[in-house]
Amino acid sequence: MRIINVDLVVSAIKEMCIEANHFLSQDMKDAIEEAAKKEESVVGRQILEQLQENLNIAKQEMIPICQDTGMAVIFMEIGQDVHFEGGFLEDAIHEGVRQGYGEGYLRKSVVGNPILRKNTGDNTPAIIHYSIVPGDQVHITVAPKGFGSENMSRIFMLKPSDGIEGVKNAVLTAVKDAGPNACPPMVVGVGIGGTFEKCALMAKRALSRPIDKRSEDSGMRELEEELLERINRSGIGPGGLGGTVTALAVNIDSYPTHIAGLPVAVNICCHVNRHATRSL
């Protein structure tokens, strides 16, 4: 049994909220740089170059990459041999977000009641997903999610007879409907299988996979490559102003499902696709 004080969780999440909102991960920086080289549209290239300039300014002057600093989505992979002490884990996670968004001078975008719309003032509560894994480590991913792209996400409850072509059509439909609203070039997270809520969670989690790492499943890897090619032929382009780079990656996760269903979720993220990961 390994004992971890929740103060470590507070500190880690605070720092990760600030990090993710100011510094783009290396895989995303590399992808945007490569996209600027291969974009065939003059306007598209200019937009990608402006995005790179924006990233450099954010890093040098410690200002957020985007004015929408998102709702904090937290993935907690907790080793089954870990015991937390010093307080309630969930309170510690929310406190980390509260401190990160306060000390980082990040925009607070969370409203308490979704109907009354009163801002909570500290960007809490966070969205927290827990999973129990073997071992005595805790792996934390903080993924601030802006709602320009979040609002463009979709769930399709397909019939089994819709098959692979139905899956492709669902993803392409979601991207087409999103158009410029998702701040392309986008990253497209896809969840296939499971249930209504499981496919949505897979799509969300897929966004935090490094975009230079393809699916380990050969069939899903081929589907990722095909969908990326077809999305980039859509002509939406950087900023939605036309071009050959509409998406930087399509990341797919899958799970077994019921004989009567074929759930598909598409969770789209903008060109920053912010996330930070640490292990305790």
pLDDT in tens, 78-87: 999 999 999 9
% of the chain surpassing 90 pLDDT: 93
pLDDT tens by residue, 8-66 = 999 999 999 999 999 998 899 999 999 999 999 999 999 999 999 999 999 899 999 99
pLDDT tens by residue, 181-196 = 999 999 999 999 999 9
Question: What is the pLDDT, as a whole number, of residue 150?
Answer: 96
Question: What is the pLDDT, as a whole number, of residue 166?
Answer: 98
In a domain, residue 173? The reply is: yes
Of 102, 125, 145, which marks where a domain is finished? Answer: 145
Q: Average pLDDT of 63-82?
A: 96
Least confident of 44-48, 137-141, 167-171, 265-269: 44-48
Q: If pLDDT is split at 50, 70 and 90, which confidence band does 233 have?
A: very high
Q: What is the mean pLDDT of the chain?
A: 96
Q: If pLDDT is split at 50, 70 and 90, which confidence band does 226 have?
A: very high
In a domain, residue 224? The reply is: yes
Q: Do 123 and 164 have their domain in common?
A: no
Domain that holds residue 166: 148-278
Q: Do 107 and 160 have their domain in common?
A: no
Q: If pLDDT is split at 50, 70 and 90, which confidence band does 267 have?
A: very high
Q: Average pLDDT of 150-171?
A: 97
Which parts of the chain are beta strand (E)?
2-5, 71-79, 82-85, 127-133, 138-145, 154-158, 186-194, 247-257, 262-269, 276-279
- CA torsion through residues 11, 126, 26, 58, sign: negative
Q: Do 186 and 83 have their domain in common?
A: no
pTM for the model stands at 0.93
In a domain, residue 86? The reply is: yes
Helix, strand, coil percentages for the chain (3-state, nearest 5): 45, 25, 30
Of 129, 145, 161, which marks where a domain is finished? Answer: 145
Question: What is the pLDDT, as a whole number, of residue 116?
Answer: 97
Largest CA distance in the chain: 58
In a domain, residue 57? The reply is: no
Q: Do 188 and 105 have their domain in common?
A: no
Nearest-CA neighbor of 188 among 177, 203, 198? 203
Question: What is the pLDDT, as a whole number, of residue 160?
Answer: 98
Q: Average pLDDT of 200-212?
A: 95
In a domain, residue 175? The reply is: yes
Question: What is the pLDDT, as a whole number, of residue 108?
Answer: 97
Nearest-CA neighbor of 76 among 88, 101, 98, 93? 93
Number of domains in the chain: 2
In a domain, residue 238? The reply is: yes
pLDDT tens by residue, 128-155 = 999 999 999 999 999 999 999 999 999 9
In a domain, residue 127? The reply is: yes
Question: What is the pLDDT, as a whole number, of residue 280?
Answer: 96
Q: If pLDDT is split at 50, 70 and 90, which confidence band does 92 have?
A: very high
Q: Do 82 and 168 have their domain in common?
A: no
Query: What is the CA angle 250-20-252, rounded to 5?
Result: 15
Q: Do 255 and 188 have their domain in common?
A: yes
